[in-house]
Chain A
Amino acid sequence: MKRRAFLGLGTALVAASAVGGWTLTHHAPQPLLLSARDDGDGQHYAVGYRLDGSQAFATPVRERCHDVYAHPHLPLAVFVGRRPSRESYVLDTRDGRLLQVLASPPDRHFYGHGIFDAAGEWFYSTENDTRDPGRGVLGVYRLEGERLVRHGEHSTHGIGPHQLLWMPDGETLVIANGGIRTEADSREKMNLDAMEPSLVLLHRDGRLLSKEQLPEQMNSVRHLAVARDGTVVSGQQYEGDPLEKVPLLAIKRPGEAFQPFPLGEAQRQVMNQYTASVAIHDDLRLLAVTAPRGNRVFIWDLDSAELRLDAHLPDCAGVGAVKEGFLVSSGQSRCRLYDCRRSEIAMQPLTLPAGLWDNHLRLA
């Protein structure tokens, strides 16, 4: 398909279904849940589901994916290969058609996360420079028609970068440099005694704006959520002593330093030194975190840090904000909707397929 034709179709679809402005009311389109999933035989898929359980698509893909990012106004999304994958997949989100297998350059592999800019013209992904293993690279791609074309790269100013997101200005990227060095085709951690995790703010042109670290060297900064006001929350995975008390969540409020998020001792303990996905609900000012090793979902008030939910969910995985609250997927159980609009949070299991959801989900 030629670019013009594709764009035309996309625009028509945008107009017809008001994608991007959806609400969960009668007759309005439901959001499309995008995620990486497996089947029981270990086949990997890039999937899209409506929240009533109806499947939009389930496209088999060669490599297991991790995060996914939808184009801001075209019906396409990039499913990013999980490290150390050298492939990501561009899909048509209307029918799951595979538009492009995006290969990383020869000396790079994907780390599992990537994002479009607000205009939808550029795509950025975190990558490993396998000639200098662990050196964090920000891959820069341009959308040409229905294909992403590598345009260049910047340094992430850190080791083993993982998730990246936009700050509200749309020009500044926040990047979690996990600090762990891995080599090509491997998930083995090579530098646990010399980790260098950091939180970096980077202009999209590659300029380093700030780089901050938590005191604990083995506390890998991995996942992020950014609120509308620019508050950044990060989720950590601690590689050190399982009994050590370390901040597994950290926060950078506008104009403030990157610092531990006040976490109750009971919640910290139950996490088993491991957080997975982080999400912020902008309207309700809530923070949700999944801790799959502790099999728990947490929700806090973002401003007061008051605990709102501490619930059991085996192998909980992706979390995303919907109008009512948060949607949470699981590697093992049914997906849940946590309705947070009242002081008592109500949980509803969903009819989506149970289990085998990868660690991130996006709602488009």
Chain B
Amino acid sequence: MPRSRLAHTAWIPLLTALALAGCGDDSDPFQQASSALADHVLLPSYQSWAETDRRLADSARAYCAGEQNLEQAREVLLDAQTAWAALQPMLVGPMGEGNRAWQVQFWPDKKNLVGRQVTNLLKAHPQLTRADIENGSVVVQGLTAYEYVLYDEAVDLAAPQVKASYCPLLVAIGEHQQALAADIVAQWQAKDGMVAQLRDFPNDRYAEPSEAIADILRLQVTALDGLKKKLGTPLGRQSKGHPQPYQAEAWRSEASLAMLGAALEGAERLWNGGGQPGLRSLLGDDQQALAKRIDEAYARAREALVALDSPLGTLLADEAGRARVNEFYQRLDDVHRLHQGELAKTLGIQIGFNAHDGD
């Protein structure tokens, strides 16, 4: 792989070598936070996700063999959905690259591509194998297609022939997800993998610890913005106030809010480090007011979410429900803005400059 060909050993004449304070220095707070986040937040989250996908693959086989009922299969799916959602703010590294995330969750699905492509795929391959989905569209490889099979009205799993016709797809998706997650975890743990690159500087990916922290924060901010879109789209913020409940992520399983909650929790763990140094630890004594405001913003967002005690689709059906969803949206917006604006500025981190430039 060309990437691994990079070497640091070459001496480049005349160009002054970097002598940056803090490189490889254990007392550098950026290095400490980056390393601690890798060990205590990021890697464990990826491992939890991989574990839920291992169970998803088992569950698909068990359900299809009649050893698990539909309810049990749906519970295992929900675990996989929320474990994946928790990773949304943590897509630093290989999972955030090359459209891999679409292999897990396909959103937004404005034209019900999932339903149509699952139907077409099974028509074309009645004896579906894993190779058929590996070679097919990302739309049929992930949890969204799995959810479609377990929940959509069009799929009557109570009828044995119908269940038998969809089971190869469930098993193939389970195996695909398990393999994908295992591969990503392996890339995190490899020698010179993501964990090492977040700990030892400089490396092929990061010249210094602040670049790693910048990458983490930037992807967290992107994810927080994504959460607003995932809530704002069904809320009708992109459609002149007309609610679009079927544009929610995981609307079929009514897992939309659970997934948003898991993602918010993931973002908060990056912020507070889960008891270890995280982004919060990088704020100095004179910046504690900002730290408190961010703590409070997370707490208020959590409270607003807890107050949403019905599924998103139900809440969107009436004015009072929409007002409560909107309250949660505003609290997510607060969290997003504090990270994108003040936190980034205080840490001296530039959030995107050219990437959305369009030139």
List A residues at the B interface (Cβ < 8 Å).
24-26, 30, 38, 40, 51-53, 66, 82-83, 112, 162, 187, 222, 237, 242-243, 266, 269-270, 272, 274, 276, 292-296, 307-312, 314-315, 317, 324, 331-334, 336-337, 339, 342-351, 354-359
Contacts and interface: CB of A to CB of B under 8 A. Distances in A.
A339 B14 contact: no
B355 A310 contact: no
B18 interface: yes
A176 to B, nearest CB: 12
9 contacts: A30-B14, A243-B137, A314-B211, A317-B353, A324-B12, A332-B352, A342-B10, A344-B5, A356-B353
Contacts of B14: 24-26, 30, 51-52
Given A310-B2, A311-B204, A359-B354, A269 B98 contact: yes
B7 A276 contact: no
Contacts of A309: 2-3, 5-6
A51 B208 CA distance: 19
B10 A339 contact: yes
Interface string B239-269: 0000000000000000000000000000000
Interface in B272-328: none
Interface string B1-29: 11101111110111111100000000000
Contacts of B8: 346-348
A204 B272 CA distance: 60
Most buried by A among B204, B350, B352: B350
Contact of B358 (A187, A269, A336): A187
Given A162-B359, A307-B2, A351-B18, A315 B352 contact: yes
Contacts of A355: 350, 353
Contact of B12 (A334, A339, A345): A339
Nearest to B353: A331
A356 B15 CA distance: 21
A337 B10 CA distance: 11
A51 B353 contact: no
Q: Name the prevailing secondary structure of the B interface residues.
A: loop
B205 interface: yes
A52 B15 contact: yes
A205 to B, nearest CB: 28
Interface of B: 1-3, 5-10, 12-18, 97-99, 102, 137-138, 202, 204-208, 210-211, 214-215, 218, 345, 348-359
A71 to B, nearest CB: 23
Given A270-B97, A314-B215, A356-B353, A337 B207 contact: no
Contacts of A346: 6-10, 12
A332 B350 contact: yes
A274 B354 CA distance: 11
A10 to B, nearest CB: 26
Contacts of A317: 353-354
Nearest to B9: A346
Contact of B2 (A52, A243, A308, A354): A308
A3 B162 CA distance: 85
Given A24-B15, A312-B205, A345-B5, 7 more contacts: A38-B353, A40-B345, A52-B15, A334-B18, A346-B12, A359-B354, A359-B357
A337 B354 contact: no
A27 to B, nearest CB: 9
A30 to B, nearest CB: 7
Nearest to B93: A312
Nearest to A26: B14
A84 to B, nearest CB: 11
Given A25-B13, A344-B7, A314 B99 contact: no
Contact of B354 (A83, A276, A296, A307): A276
B207 A349 contact: yes
Most buried by A among B207, B218, B349: B207
Given A25-B13, A314-B211, A315-B355, A349 B6 contact: no
Q: Name the prevailing secondary structure of the A interface residues.
A: loop
Across the A-B interface, the 5 shortest Cβ-Cβ residue pairs: A331-B353, A346-B10, A349-B207, A270-B98, A331-B354
Contacts of B9: 346
A342 B353 CA distance: 32
Contact of B102 (A51, A243, A294): A243
Contact of A333 (B5, B18, B207, B345): B207
A337 B15 CA distance: 9
Nearest to B352: A315
A274 B358 CA distance: 9
Contacts of B137: 243
Nearest to A335: B207
Nearest to B354: A331
A88 B99 CA distance: 38
A198 B167 CA distance: 48
A266 B1 CA distance: 11
Nearest to A296: B97
B110 to A, nearest CB: 11
A272 B138 CA distance: 15
Contacts of A333: 206-207, 211, 214
A208 B1 CA distance: 43
Nearest to B6: A347
Contacts of B218: 314, 332
A237 B211 contact: no
B359 A82 contact: yes
Nearest to A291: B355
A278 B18 CA distance: 26
Nearest to A111: B359
B99 A243 contact: yes
Nearest to B210: A354
A349 B208 CA distance: 9
Contacts of B345: 40
A321 B165 CA distance: 57
Contacts of A312: 3, 204-205
A342 B215 CA distance: 30
A226 to B, nearest CB: 19
Contacts of B357: 276, 292, 359
A123 B204 CA distance: 40
B100 to A, nearest CB: 9
Nearest to A162: B359
A44 to B, nearest CB: 12
A243 to B, nearest CB: 7
A310 B98 CA distance: 12
A291 to B, nearest CB: 9
Contacts of A315: 350, 352-355
Nearest to B3: A310
